């Protein structure tokens, strides 16, 4: 286990750009604390603590730290804002410190940086609080790119410690949900269910946006059943834009499908007790509250799973419609390209006809022009005898070679590849012939020496 932890630390060190640089982290952190003898007397407090006091808050009595093996009851949560992509609004040193203070299995850090979405439980049997004989449970839930959560659970005292990474848009709902569901603070999977519920609401909104986008694309391509076919002719640029939009919606549907699988895995672990958490031993004064929380959580998880299954059906429909629209858009783009090619072919044909007309006119006037130029030369004396003067050969001496030179240059320029191949073929043939002649000579000399 220690080797895995060292490996995780080394790999996460490589991802240092995901954290704030030392000294550039936020000055204030928001935390949520709840404690009490039972759910009816739970005291919930939201407060802001300074970054300089973060270590004191994380390691004060009631939390598990590297130097202390006692964890008191209650619920504590540290909020860390998540920027675009994988940027966390906390310094890496502070993150590692809180992770250790909360007793969260360090190897889960590596999972967080290498996996897309998922639910990952872990039991650290090497770390058992002094007031308990049961090991700590650690969990990682990656809901989506915008929200993930680490938390630990100490069975004996039913203590939960949470590190929440989320974008600002989720924070308000998560706060209200944690406070409203205080009866279930004692449940080991309580933080995960709250996070998945928040992600589920986000999925509903995203799925609605995806459906609206698909309907808009179908309207333009003329494939919507509730709208008559469009009479206008969209441009190819619009088709390309719609293709990109369809691609984005396909990616969005895939992300929704991944999160639905996370909901299925989580609810299965909760409802079926596949992790064996329902059988953990708690103090007698908490057993009744624990059982009630378990039943309430199981019912909520079943309902969430039912909604996720219905959403999965909608996602499958959207994926098929997006795939169909992308095929239609590709065909429309191909049709537009074919139309452009036909237009270019017609234009080329018109140009060819024009050039042919010019060539015919040139051919018609060329002989007359040639003879007119020749007869007008001073080398021909029409009023003298002989008409052709003695130095007429000068004209022929320049005209004929220059004409031949022009044609030669033209052939070399237009047929240079063919000429190059012919030359190479000829050179190789001569080399082979020379090589064969040398070999024949060697054989003859060998035969004579043998004889």
**396-450: pLDDT as tens digits:** 888 888 888 888 888 888 888 887 887 777 777 777 777 776 666 656 665 556 5
Residue 136's pLDDT band (cuts 50, 70, 90):
confident
Phi, psi torsion values for 187, nearest 5 degrees: -80, 135
Phi, psi torsion values for 74, nearest 5 degrees: 110, -175
**Nearest to residue 198, comparing CAs of 250, 262, 139, 249?**
262
Radius of gyration of the chain, Cα coordinates, nearest whole angstrom: 42
* Residue 262 predicted with pLDDT over 80: yes
| CA of residue 181 relative to chain centroid, distance | 36
**The pairing of beta strand 118-124 with beta strand 136-144:** antiparallel
- The pLDDT, as a whole number, for residue 69 is 36
* Cβ-based neighbours of 423, under 8 Å, separated by 6 or more: none
DSSP class per residue in 232-298: S---HHHHHHHHHHHHHHHHHHHHHHHHHHHHHHHHHHHHS-TT-GGG----HHHHHHHHHHHHHHH
**The pairing of beta strand 75-81 with beta strand 159-166:** parallel
Phi, psi torsion values for 232, nearest 5 degrees: -75, 165
* Cβ-based neighbours of 21, under 8 Å, separated by 6 or more: 91
- The pLDDT, as a whole number, for residue 72 is 44
Phi, psi torsion values for 282, nearest 5 degrees: -120, 170
CA distance 13 to 270: 33
CA distance 344 to 363: 28
CA distance 259 to 135: 29
Contact status, residue 67 vs residue 51, Cβ threshold 8 Å:
no
Packing angle, helices 190-221 and 284-375, rounded to 10 = 30
Residue with tokens 């966390």: 88
Lowest-confidence pick of 50-54, 207-211, 363-367: 363-367
Coil, helix or strand for 125?
A: coil
Q: Which residue has the higher pLDDT, 385 or 43?
A: 385
* Cβ-based neighbours of 325, under 8 Å, separated by 6 or more: 214, 217, 218, 221, 223, 242, 246
pTM for this entry: 0.67
Residue 68's pLDDT band (cuts 50, 70, 90):
very low
How many Cα neighbours within 13 Å face the side chain of 74?
Answer: 20
The residue count for the chain: 451
- The pLDDT, as a whole number, for residue 71 is 38
| H helix or E strand, kind and range, residue 155 | none
Contact status, residue 212 vs residue 204, Cβ threshold 8 Å:
no
Average pLDDT of span 205-230 = 82
CA distance 232 to 363: 48
Phi, psi torsion values for 283, nearest 5 degrees: -65, 155
**The pairing of beta strand 28-35 with beta strand 75-81:** antiparallel
CA distance 315 to 203: 10
Contact status, residue 255 vs residue 144, Cβ threshold 8 Å:
yes
CA distance 76 to 104: 13
Q: Which residue has the higher pLDDT, 252 or 285?
A: 252
* Residue 391 predicted with pLDDT over 50: yes
Per-residue pLDDT tens for 317-371? 999 999 998 998 888 888 878 877 887 888 887 778 788 888 888 888 888 888 7
């Amino acid at each position: 286990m220690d080797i895995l932890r060292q490996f995780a630390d080394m790999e996460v060190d490589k991802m240092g750009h995901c954290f704030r640089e030392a000294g550039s982290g936020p000055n204030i952190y928001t935390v949520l604390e709840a404690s009490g003898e039972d759910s009816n007397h739970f005291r919930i407090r939201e407060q802001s603590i300074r970054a300089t006091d973060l270590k004191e808050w994380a390691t004060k009595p009631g939390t598990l730290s590297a130097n202390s093996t006692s964890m008191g009851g209650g619920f504590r949560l540290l909020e860390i804002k998540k920027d675009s992509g994988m940027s966390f609004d906390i310094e890496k040193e502070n993150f590692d410190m809180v992770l250790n203070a909360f007793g969260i299995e360090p190897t889960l850090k590596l999972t967080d940086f290498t996996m897309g979405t998922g639910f990952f439980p872990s039991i650290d049997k090497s770390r058992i609080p002094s007031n308990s004989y049961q090991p700590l449970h650690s969990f990682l839930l990656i809901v989506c790119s915008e929200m993930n959560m680490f938390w630990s659970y100490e069975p004996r005292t039913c203590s939960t410690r949470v590190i929440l990474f989320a974008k600002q848009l989720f924070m308000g709902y998560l706060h209200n949900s944690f406070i409203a569901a205080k009866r279930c603070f004692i449940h080991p999977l309580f933080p995960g269910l709250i996070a998945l519920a928040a992600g589920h609401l986000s999925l509903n909104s995203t799925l609605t946006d995806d459906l609206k986008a698909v309907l808009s694309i179908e309207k333009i391509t003329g494939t919507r059943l509730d709208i008559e076919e469009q009479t206008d002719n969209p441009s190819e640029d619009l088709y390309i834009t719609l293709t990109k939009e369809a691609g984005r919606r396909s990616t969005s549907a895939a992300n929704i499908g991944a999160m639905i699988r996370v909901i299925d895995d989580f609810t299965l672990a909760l409802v079926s007790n596949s992790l064996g958490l329902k059988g953990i031993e708690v103090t007698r004064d908490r057993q009744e509250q624990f059982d009630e929380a378990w039943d309430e959580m199981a019912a909520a998880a079943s309902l969430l799973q039912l909604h996720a299954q219905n959403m999965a059906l909608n996602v499958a429909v959207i994926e098929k419609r997006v795939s169909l629209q992308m095929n239609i858009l590709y065909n429309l783009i191909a049709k537009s390209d074919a139309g452009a090619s036909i237009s270019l072919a017609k234009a080329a044909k018109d140009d060819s006809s024009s050039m042919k007309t010019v060539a015919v006119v040139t051919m018609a006037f060329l002989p007359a022009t040639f003879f007119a130029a020749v007869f007008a030369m001073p080398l021909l004396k029409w009023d003298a005898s002989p008409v052709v003067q003695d130095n007429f050969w000068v004209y022929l001496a320049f005209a004929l070679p220059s004409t031949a030179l022009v044609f030669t240059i033209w052939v070399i320029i237009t047929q240079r590849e063919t000429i190059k191949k012919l030359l190479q073929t000829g050179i190789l043939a001569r080399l082979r012939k020379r090589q064969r002649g040398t070999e024949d000579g060697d054989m003859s000399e060998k035969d004579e020496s043998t004889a």
